[in-house]
Amino acid sequence: MKTIYLDNNATTRVAPEVLEVMLPYFHELYGNPSSMHSFGGQVGRDLSVAREQVAALLGASPDEIIFTSCGSESDNAAIRSALASQPGKRHIVTSRVEHPAVKALCAQLTTEGFRVTELPVDAEGRLDMDLYRKSLTPDTAIVSLMWANNETGVIFPIEKAAEFARSRGIVFHTDAVQAVGKIPIDLSKTAIDMLSISGHKLHAPKGIGVLYVRRGTRFWPFLIGGHQEKGRRGGTENTPSIIGLGKACSLAAQNMEAENTRVKQLRDKLENELRAVIPNSRVNGDRGSRLPNTSNISFEFVEGEAILLMMDQFGICASSGSACTSGSLQPSHVLRAMGVPFTMAHGSIRFSLSVYNTDEEIDFVIEKLPPIIETLRSLSPYWKAGRQAATG
Protein backbone atom coordinates (compact mmCIF):
# COMPACT_ATOMS: atom_id res chain seq x y z
CA MET A 1 0.00 0.00 0.00
CA LYS A 2 1.23 3.46 -0.89
CA THR A 3 1.82 5.83 1.99
CA ILE A 4 0.20 9.24 1.64
CA TYR A 5 2.13 11.33 4.08
CA LEU A 6 0.24 14.39 5.27
CA ASP A 7 1.88 14.67 8.68
CA ASN A 8 4.84 16.91 7.90
CA ASN A 9 4.40 19.05 11.01
CA ALA A 10 5.20 15.91 13.00
CA THR A 11 8.27 15.05 10.99
CA THR A 12 9.41 15.05 7.38
CA ARG A 13 11.26 12.68 5.12
CA VAL A 14 14.96 13.36 4.74
CA ALA A 15 15.36 14.87 1.27
CA PRO A 16 17.33 12.56 -1.04
CA GLU A 17 19.79 15.42 -1.72
CA VAL A 18 20.28 15.82 2.03
CA LEU A 19 20.95 12.14 2.60
CA GLU A 20 23.43 12.09 -0.24
CA VAL A 21 25.61 14.87 1.18
CA MET A 22 25.47 13.31 4.66
CA LEU A 23 26.67 9.82 3.82
CA PRO A 24 30.41 10.47 3.42
CA TYR A 25 30.54 11.90 6.95
CA PHE A 26 29.64 8.51 8.41
CA HIS A 27 32.35 6.40 6.86
CA GLU A 28 34.88 8.47 4.93
CA LEU A 29 35.00 11.92 6.47
CA TYR A 30 34.53 10.75 10.05
CA GLY A 31 37.20 12.94 11.60
CA ASN A 32 36.51 15.08 14.65
CA PRO A 33 36.27 18.72 13.56
CA SER A 34 38.15 19.76 16.70
CA SER A 35 41.19 17.63 15.85
CA MET A 36 44.52 19.20 14.96
CA HIS A 37 45.12 16.94 11.95
CA SER A 38 43.92 17.90 8.54
CA PHE A 39 41.73 14.77 8.37
CA GLY A 40 39.51 16.26 11.09
CA GLY A 41 40.16 19.81 10.03
CA GLN A 42 38.55 19.34 6.63
CA VAL A 43 35.32 18.30 8.38
CA GLY A 44 35.54 21.46 10.44
CA ARG A 45 35.68 23.49 7.23
CA ASP A 46 32.64 21.65 5.85
CA LEU A 47 30.76 22.44 9.04
CA SER A 48 31.40 26.15 8.50
CA VAL A 49 29.83 25.84 5.06
CA ALA A 50 26.77 24.23 6.63
CA ARG A 51 26.68 26.98 9.23
CA GLU A 52 26.68 29.54 6.44
CA GLN A 53 23.85 27.72 4.67
CA VAL A 54 21.73 27.78 7.82
CA ALA A 55 22.55 31.42 8.45
CA ALA A 56 21.63 32.32 4.86
CA LEU A 57 18.13 30.87 5.20
CA LEU A 58 17.58 32.95 8.35
CA GLY A 59 19.26 36.18 7.31
CA ALA A 60 21.75 35.69 10.16
CA SER A 61 25.53 35.55 10.38
CA PRO A 62 27.22 32.19 10.79
CA ASP A 63 28.57 33.05 14.25
CA GLU A 64 24.98 33.49 15.46
CA ILE A 65 24.19 29.82 14.76
CA ILE A 66 24.59 27.22 17.52
CA PHE A 67 23.97 23.60 16.58
CA THR A 68 21.99 21.62 19.16
CA SER A 69 20.39 18.17 19.28
CA CYS A 70 16.78 19.22 18.66
CA GLY A 71 14.21 21.97 18.85
CA SER A 72 13.41 21.16 22.46
CA GLU A 73 17.06 21.60 23.46
CA SER A 74 17.15 24.93 21.66
CA ASP A 75 14.03 26.12 23.51
CA ASN A 76 15.39 24.97 26.86
CA ALA A 77 18.78 26.54 26.20
CA ALA A 78 17.27 29.89 25.14
CA ILE A 79 14.94 30.30 28.11
CA ARG A 80 17.38 28.98 30.72
CA SER A 81 20.11 31.25 29.35
CA ALA A 82 17.95 34.37 29.55
CA LEU A 83 17.06 33.56 33.16
CA ALA A 84 20.62 32.67 34.19
CA SER A 85 22.08 35.81 32.66
CA GLN A 86 19.55 38.13 34.37
CA PRO A 87 19.42 36.77 37.92
CA GLY A 88 17.31 39.67 39.22
CA LYS A 89 14.43 39.05 36.84
CA ARG A 90 11.85 36.39 37.69
CA HIS A 91 9.08 36.79 35.11
CA ILE A 92 8.48 34.98 31.81
CA VAL A 93 5.88 35.84 29.17
CA THR A 94 4.67 33.09 26.85
CA SER A 95 1.38 31.89 25.35
CA ARG A 96 -1.13 29.15 26.09
CA VAL A 97 -0.58 27.46 22.77
CA GLU A 98 3.17 26.84 22.87
CA HIS A 99 4.79 23.52 22.03
CA PRO A 100 5.41 21.33 25.12
CA ALA A 101 9.14 22.12 24.87
CA VAL A 102 8.30 25.65 26.04
CA LYS A 103 5.05 25.00 27.90
CA ALA A 104 6.34 22.20 30.10
CA LEU A 105 9.60 24.03 30.76
CA CYS A 106 7.66 27.10 31.92
CA ALA A 107 5.53 24.90 34.18
CA GLN A 108 8.76 23.53 35.64
CA LEU A 109 10.13 27.06 36.12
CA THR A 110 7.10 28.07 38.20
CA THR A 111 8.18 25.40 40.69
CA GLU A 112 11.61 27.02 40.72
CA GLY A 113 10.18 30.35 41.81
CA PHE A 114 9.62 32.08 38.45
CA ARG A 115 6.39 33.80 37.49
CA VAL A 116 4.92 32.81 34.13
CA THR A 117 2.28 34.74 32.17
CA GLU A 118 0.60 32.56 29.56
CA LEU A 119 -1.11 34.87 27.10
CA PRO A 120 -4.53 33.71 25.87
CA VAL A 121 -5.52 33.46 22.22
CA ASP A 122 -8.87 34.21 20.60
CA ALA A 123 -11.17 31.76 18.83
CA GLU A 124 -9.02 32.00 15.69
CA GLY A 125 -5.84 31.31 17.65
CA ARG A 126 -4.61 34.91 17.46
CA LEU A 127 -2.67 36.71 20.14
CA ASP A 128 -4.11 39.83 21.76
CA MET A 129 -1.23 42.26 21.18
CA ASP A 130 -2.57 44.84 23.65
CA LEU A 131 -2.62 42.23 26.35
CA TYR A 132 0.88 41.20 25.32
CA ARG A 133 2.20 44.74 25.68
CA LYS A 134 0.55 45.09 29.07
CA SER A 135 2.03 41.81 30.27
CA LEU A 136 5.63 43.03 30.04
CA THR A 137 7.02 44.33 33.32
CA PRO A 138 10.42 45.52 34.55
CA ASP A 139 10.73 42.05 36.13
CA THR A 140 10.25 40.25 32.78
CA ALA A 141 13.41 38.35 31.82
CA ILE A 142 12.26 36.83 28.54
CA VAL A 143 9.36 36.61 26.13
CA SER A 144 9.03 33.24 24.38
CA LEU A 145 6.36 33.04 21.67
CA MET A 146 6.12 30.52 18.87
CA TRP A 147 6.33 31.88 15.34
CA ALA A 148 3.81 29.43 13.87
CA ASN A 149 1.58 26.98 15.69
CA ASN A 150 2.29 23.31 15.04
CA GLU A 151 -1.37 22.26 15.31
CA THR A 152 -3.22 25.01 13.48
CA GLY A 153 -0.43 26.69 11.50
CA VAL A 154 -1.52 30.10 12.85
CA ILE A 155 1.30 32.63 12.53
CA PHE A 156 1.89 35.09 15.37
CA PRO A 157 3.06 38.66 14.54
CA ILE A 158 6.50 37.79 15.86
CA GLU A 159 8.41 40.72 14.32
CA LYS A 160 6.11 43.23 15.99
CA ALA A 161 6.18 41.38 19.27
CA ALA A 162 9.99 41.26 19.21
CA GLU A 163 10.26 44.96 18.47
CA PHE A 164 8.09 45.80 21.40
CA ALA A 165 10.12 43.57 23.71
CA ARG A 166 13.32 45.25 22.52
CA SER A 167 11.84 48.69 23.24
CA ARG A 168 11.39 47.50 26.82
CA GLY A 169 14.84 45.93 27.01
CA ILE A 170 13.47 42.39 27.27
CA VAL A 171 15.07 39.34 25.63
CA PHE A 172 12.85 37.87 22.91
CA HIS A 173 12.90 34.18 21.93
CA THR A 174 10.76 32.45 19.33
CA ASP A 175 10.22 28.76 18.71
CA ALA A 176 10.27 28.90 14.90
CA VAL A 177 10.39 25.13 14.42
CA GLN A 178 7.27 25.13 12.22
CA ALA A 179 7.92 28.46 10.49
CA VAL A 180 11.46 28.03 9.19
CA GLY A 181 11.42 26.81 5.62
CA LYS A 182 7.71 27.49 5.22
CA ILE A 183 7.62 31.28 5.39
CA PRO A 184 10.41 33.74 4.54
CA ILE A 185 12.41 34.88 7.57
CA ASP A 186 15.08 37.58 7.64
CA LEU A 187 16.48 37.93 11.12
CA SER A 188 18.72 40.85 10.14
CA LYS A 189 15.54 42.93 9.86
CA THR A 190 13.98 41.85 13.15
CA ALA A 191 14.54 42.40 16.86
CA ILE A 192 14.47 38.69 17.65
CA ASP A 193 17.27 37.73 20.07
CA MET A 194 16.96 33.95 19.96
CA LEU A 195 15.20 31.51 17.63
CA SER A 196 14.85 27.71 17.68
CA ILE A 197 14.92 25.38 14.67
CA SER A 198 14.43 21.63 14.41
CA GLY A 199 16.12 19.86 11.49
CA HIS A 200 13.60 17.09 10.98
CA LYS A 201 10.77 19.52 10.29
CA LEU A 202 12.49 20.71 7.13
CA HIS A 203 13.73 17.50 5.52
CA ALA A 204 16.94 17.17 7.53
CA PRO A 205 17.31 14.20 9.91
CA LYS A 206 16.01 13.89 13.46
CA GLY A 207 18.47 14.71 16.22
CA ILE A 208 19.73 18.05 14.93
CA GLY A 209 18.54 21.52 15.91
CA VAL A 210 19.73 25.09 15.88
CA LEU A 211 19.57 27.91 18.32
CA TYR A 212 20.10 31.31 16.75
CA VAL A 213 21.57 33.78 19.24
CA ARG A 214 21.86 37.37 18.06
CA ARG A 215 25.29 38.92 18.39
CA GLY A 216 25.50 40.84 21.63
CA THR A 217 22.89 38.69 23.40
CA ARG A 218 24.26 37.34 26.66
CA PHE A 219 24.32 33.58 26.48
CA TRP A 220 24.84 31.00 29.19
CA PRO A 221 25.44 27.49 27.87
CA PHE A 222 22.82 24.86 28.59
CA LEU A 223 25.06 21.87 27.91
CA ILE A 224 28.42 22.35 29.59
CA GLY A 225 31.38 20.52 28.11
CA GLY A 226 34.06 21.07 25.51
CA HIS A 227 34.79 24.22 23.57
CA GLN A 228 32.54 23.24 20.64
CA GLU A 229 30.27 25.94 19.21
CA LYS A 230 32.64 28.54 20.71
CA GLY A 231 31.97 27.20 24.20
CA ARG A 232 28.24 27.78 23.85
CA ARG A 233 27.26 24.11 23.52
CA GLY A 234 29.47 21.24 24.67
CA GLY A 235 29.47 17.88 22.91
CA THR A 236 31.15 16.61 19.76
CA GLU A 237 29.36 17.91 16.71
CA ASN A 238 26.83 15.67 14.99
CA THR A 239 28.72 16.19 11.77
CA PRO A 240 26.60 14.20 9.26
CA SER A 241 23.41 15.85 10.52
CA ILE A 242 24.89 19.34 10.54
CA ILE A 243 26.02 18.84 6.94
CA GLY A 244 22.54 17.54 6.14
CA LEU A 245 20.82 20.47 7.83
CA GLY A 246 22.95 22.90 5.84
CA LYS A 247 21.81 21.28 2.63
CA ALA A 248 18.20 21.15 3.84
CA CYS A 249 18.28 24.90 4.53
CA SER A 250 19.55 25.60 0.99
CA LEU A 251 16.77 23.42 -0.41
CA ALA A 252 14.19 25.15 1.78
CA ALA A 253 15.24 28.51 0.37
CA GLN A 254 14.86 27.13 -3.16
CA ASN A 255 11.48 25.57 -2.34
CA MET A 256 10.08 28.57 -0.50
CA GLU A 257 8.15 29.73 -3.52
CA ALA A 258 6.71 26.28 -4.27
CA GLU A 259 5.76 25.96 -0.61
CA ASN A 260 3.76 29.16 -0.83
CA THR A 261 2.17 28.46 -4.20
CA ARG A 262 1.87 24.79 -5.16
CA VAL A 263 1.77 23.36 -1.62
CA LYS A 264 -0.61 26.08 -0.52
CA GLN A 265 -2.91 25.34 -3.48
CA LEU A 266 -2.95 21.64 -2.60
CA ARG A 267 -3.74 22.47 1.01
CA ASP A 268 -6.53 24.85 0.00
CA LYS A 269 -7.99 22.31 -2.38
CA LEU A 270 -7.99 19.59 0.28
CA GLU A 271 -9.56 21.89 2.82
CA ASN A 272 -12.18 23.43 0.53
CA GLU A 273 -13.32 20.19 -1.05
CA LEU A 274 -13.56 18.30 2.23
CA ARG A 275 -15.57 21.11 3.77
CA ALA A 276 -17.86 21.29 0.76
CA VAL A 277 -18.63 17.56 0.87
CA ILE A 278 -18.68 16.91 4.63
CA PRO A 279 -21.40 18.75 6.59
CA ASN A 280 -20.66 20.06 10.09
CA SER A 281 -16.98 20.58 9.44
CA ARG A 282 -14.85 23.65 9.98
CA VAL A 283 -11.29 24.91 9.80
CA ASN A 284 -9.57 25.72 13.09
CA GLY A 285 -7.28 28.74 13.13
CA ASP A 286 -6.94 32.12 11.45
CA ARG A 287 -7.16 31.49 7.72
CA GLY A 288 -5.76 34.93 7.05
CA SER A 289 -2.44 34.26 8.75
CA ARG A 290 -1.50 30.63 8.49
CA LEU A 291 1.35 28.42 7.32
CA PRO A 292 0.82 27.42 3.69
CA ASN A 293 1.06 23.69 4.42
CA THR A 294 -1.18 23.21 7.45
CA SER A 295 -4.89 22.56 7.72
CA ASN A 296 -6.65 21.74 10.96
CA ILE A 297 -10.19 20.58 10.20
CA SER A 298 -12.83 19.47 12.68
CA PHE A 299 -15.56 17.01 11.84
CA GLU A 300 -18.33 17.38 14.35
CA PHE A 301 -19.63 14.44 16.45
CA VAL A 302 -16.88 11.99 15.56
CA GLU A 303 -13.63 11.23 17.32
CA GLY A 304 -10.21 11.90 15.87
CA GLU A 305 -8.42 8.67 16.70
CA ALA A 306 -11.14 6.66 14.99
CA ILE A 307 -10.78 8.85 11.89
CA LEU A 308 -6.99 8.42 11.89
CA LEU A 309 -7.22 4.64 12.18
CA MET A 310 -9.72 4.42 9.36
CA MET A 311 -7.54 6.64 7.17
CA ASP A 312 -4.61 4.43 8.13
CA GLN A 313 -6.41 1.58 6.36
CA PHE A 314 -5.77 3.54 3.17
CA GLY A 315 -2.20 4.52 4.03
CA ILE A 316 -3.17 8.12 4.77
CA CYS A 317 -1.07 9.66 7.58
CA ALA A 318 -2.29 12.68 9.57
CA SER A 319 -2.64 13.78 13.21
CA SER A 320 -5.47 14.67 15.55
CA GLY A 321 -5.99 16.96 18.49
CA SER A 322 -8.54 14.63 20.07
CA ALA A 323 -8.22 13.41 23.63
CA CYS A 324 -7.35 9.88 22.61
CA THR A 325 -4.38 11.05 20.56
CA SER A 326 -3.13 13.93 22.67
CA GLY A 327 -1.44 11.65 25.19
CA SER A 328 -3.74 12.98 27.88
CA LEU A 329 -7.45 12.54 28.31
CA GLN A 330 -8.35 16.00 27.07
CA PRO A 331 -8.29 17.48 23.59
CA SER A 332 -5.19 19.43 22.60
CA HIS A 333 -4.28 22.43 24.74
CA VAL A 334 -4.18 24.55 21.58
CA LEU A 335 -7.80 23.84 20.61
CA ARG A 336 -8.91 24.27 24.21
CA ALA A 337 -7.11 27.63 24.43
CA MET A 338 -9.02 28.69 21.31
CA GLY A 339 -12.27 27.59 22.90
CA VAL A 340 -13.08 25.13 20.11
CA PRO A 341 -16.29 23.38 21.26
CA PHE A 342 -15.86 19.81 22.48
CA THR A 343 -18.11 18.51 19.69
CA MET A 344 -15.50 19.85 17.26
CA ALA A 345 -12.27 19.52 19.24
CA HIS A 346 -12.47 15.72 19.60
CA GLY A 347 -12.98 15.36 15.87
CA SER A 348 -10.07 17.54 14.74
CA ILE A 349 -7.63 16.32 12.13
CA ARG A 350 -4.41 18.07 11.19
CA PHE A 351 -3.15 17.67 7.66
CA SER A 352 0.33 19.04 7.05
CA LEU A 353 1.75 18.90 3.55
CA SER A 354 5.19 19.14 2.02
CA VAL A 355 6.64 19.76 -1.41
CA TYR A 356 6.63 16.00 -1.94
CA ASN A 357 2.83 15.76 -1.99
CA THR A 358 1.03 15.46 -5.30
CA ASP A 359 -2.37 16.31 -6.75
CA GLU A 360 -3.21 12.60 -6.98
CA GLU A 361 -2.58 12.13 -3.27
CA ILE A 362 -4.84 15.02 -2.34
CA ASP A 363 -7.55 13.69 -4.68
CA PHE A 364 -7.27 10.29 -3.02
CA VAL A 365 -7.86 11.80 0.42
CA ILE A 366 -10.78 13.86 -0.88
CA GLU A 367 -12.28 10.61 -2.19
CA LYS A 368 -11.63 8.44 0.89
CA LEU A 369 -12.32 10.70 3.84
CA PRO A 370 -16.01 11.62 3.38
CA PRO A 371 -17.23 7.98 3.59
CA ILE A 372 -15.07 7.48 6.71
CA ILE A 373 -16.71 10.43 8.44
CA GLU A 374 -20.13 9.15 7.34
CA THR A 375 -19.43 5.67 8.74
CA LEU A 376 -18.28 7.02 12.08
CA ARG A 377 -21.23 9.38 12.26
CA SER A 378 -23.57 6.45 11.69
CA LEU A 379 -22.08 4.96 14.88
CA SER A 380 -22.29 8.17 16.86
CA PRO A 381 -25.21 8.72 19.26
CA TYR A 382 -24.86 12.48 18.77
CA TRP A 383 -24.99 12.65 15.03
CA LYS A 384 -28.73 12.79 14.41
CA ALA A 385 -29.15 15.64 16.84
CA GLY A 386 -26.26 17.50 15.23
CA ARG A 387 -27.63 17.18 11.74
CA GLN A 388 -31.03 18.39 12.81
CA ALA A 389 -29.47 21.35 14.52
CA ALA A 390 -27.51 22.16 11.41
CA THR A 391 -30.43 21.93 8.98
CA GLY A 392 -33.18 23.15 11.28
Q: Catalytic site residues?
A: 324
Among 309, 358, 359, 390, binds another protein (CB under 8 A): 309
Q: Which stretch binds another protein (CB under 8 A): 34-42, 202-210, 227-235, 377-385?
A: 377-385
Q: Does residue 247 belong to the site contacting another protein (CB under 8 A)? A: no
User: How long is the chain?
Assistant: 392
Q: Rounded to the nearest whole angstrom, what is the least distance from the CB of residue 124 to another protein in the complex?
A: 22
Nearer to another protein, 180 or 310 (CB): 310
Assess 374 for contact with another protein (CB under 8 A).
no
Q: Does 380 bind another protein (CB under 8 A)?
A: yes
How far CA 179 is from CA of 113, 195, 315, 371, in Å, comes to: 31, 11, 27, 33
Least CB distance from residue 10 to another protein, whole Å? Answer: 12
Cβ–Cβ contacts within 10 Å for residue 144, how many?
26
Closer CB to another protein, 165 or 344, in the complex? 344
- CB nearer another protein, residue 72 or residue 322: 322
Query: CA 6, CA 152: separation in Å to the nearest integer?
Result: 14
Query: Least distance in Å: CB of 365 to another protein?
Result: 19
- To another protein, the closest distance from the beta carbon of 312 in angstroms equals 8
Measured between alpha carbons, how far apart are the two ends of the chain, in Å?
A: 42
Distance, CA of 349 to CA of 102 (rounded, Å)? 23
Segment interacting with another protein, rule: CB under 8 A, options 10-18, 98-106, 137-145, 338-346 = 338-346
Is residue 337 within 8 Å of 121, Cβ to Cβ? yes
Considering only residues 269 through 308, tell me which ones interact with another protein, judged by CB under 8 A.
Answer: 301-306
Contacting residues toward another protein, per CB under 8 A? 301-306, 309-310, 313, 322-324, 328-331, 342-343, 346, 378-382
